[in-house]
Copies of this chain bind each other. A is one copy, B any other.
């Protein structure tokens, strides 16, 4: 390969005009998440004196992380590696986020930008569920992929920043939206709707639900709190003793 052929190869396979609808949706979702990731990395609770390069990498991790996890689970080479647009768009989104002043960036992130993430979340879910149904022919694993796609980018960012991942705590039905969208899509697909119709229905349901959750501050239920949550864990006992106590 030389420069000439690398260039030709790039445009022949990856000009925008040759991208499928599913790929474009996946790209939008990745780009939005990368932008979100770069702003997130600068939010006080996530910020850990990251460098400029660090924030760019964090944005890429957040942008393609969910799709990469989904494709690795399918034992595919991730789309983010076979199509250069993912890295290009994630990189540009991260640069844009870095340029926007921080405070206005955070306001933007929690204001109008929520429409964009609420927009990309169900698309990511639909792509995951669709790939799962297509390659695995099984309902539950398809739902799992519909959840992994939109949420694992954020999972990686939260782990890296030492923050409890949003996936597991209250986040205005962040995971719930992914599950709901995937379930609706799978129902539509099994019910015989065409790809496009099923995607449209699932998207509308997921987007509406997420918007309502954001505007009305709907939150996931938490189970009752463990009694001794502040007390920390008691010292481990030998198993014999633990069993005797269990029967007391």
Instruction: Contact check, B47 vs A169: say whether CB atoms are below 8 A apart.
Output: no
A77 in complex: contacting residue of B73, B216, B227, CB < 8 Å? B73
Residues of chain B lying within 8 A (CB to CB) of residue A226 = 42-44, 47, 102
Q: Mark A199-237, 1 if CB is under 8 A from B, else 0.
A: 000000000000100111100111111111111110011
Q: Quick one: which of A114, A189, A243 has the most chain B CB within 10 A?
A: A243
Residues of chain B lying within 8 A (CB to CB) of residue A72 = 72-73, 75
In the assembly, what is the distance between CA of A112 and CA of B51, in Å?
27
Residues of chain B lying within 8 A (CB to CB) of residue A169 = 48-51, 54
Residues of chain B lying within 8 A (CB to CB) of residue A96 = none
Instruction: Contact check, A57 vs B175: say whether CB atoms are below 8 A apart.
Output: yes
The oligomer's copy count stands at 3
In the assembly, what is the distance between CA of A243 and CA of B107, in Å?
8
A210 nearest CB across to chain B (Å): 10
In the assembly, what is the distance between CA of A110 and CA of B76, in Å?
40
Question: Interface-forming stretch among A18-26, A27-35, A158-166?
Answer: A158-166
Instruction: Contact check, A73 vs B82: say whether CB atoms are below 8 A apart.
Output: no
Q: Mark A108-122, 1 if CB is under 8 A from B, else 0.
A: 101110100000000
Residues of chain B lying within 8 A (CB to CB) of residue A164 = 48-49, 160-162
A238 in complex: contacting residue of B6, B10, B216, CB < 8 Å? B216
Given contacts A73-B72, A238-B215, contact A137 B48 (CB under 8 A): no
Judged by a CB distance under 8 angstroms, whether A144 is at the interface is: yes
Residues of chain B lying within 8 A (CB to CB) of residue A162 = 162, 164
Instruction: Contact check, A78 vs B87: say whether CB atoms are below 8 A apart.
Output: no
A36 nearest CB across to chain B (Å): 15
Judged by a CB distance under 8 angstroms, whether A197 is at the interface is: no
Q: Report the nearest B residue to A135, measured CB to CB.
A: B77
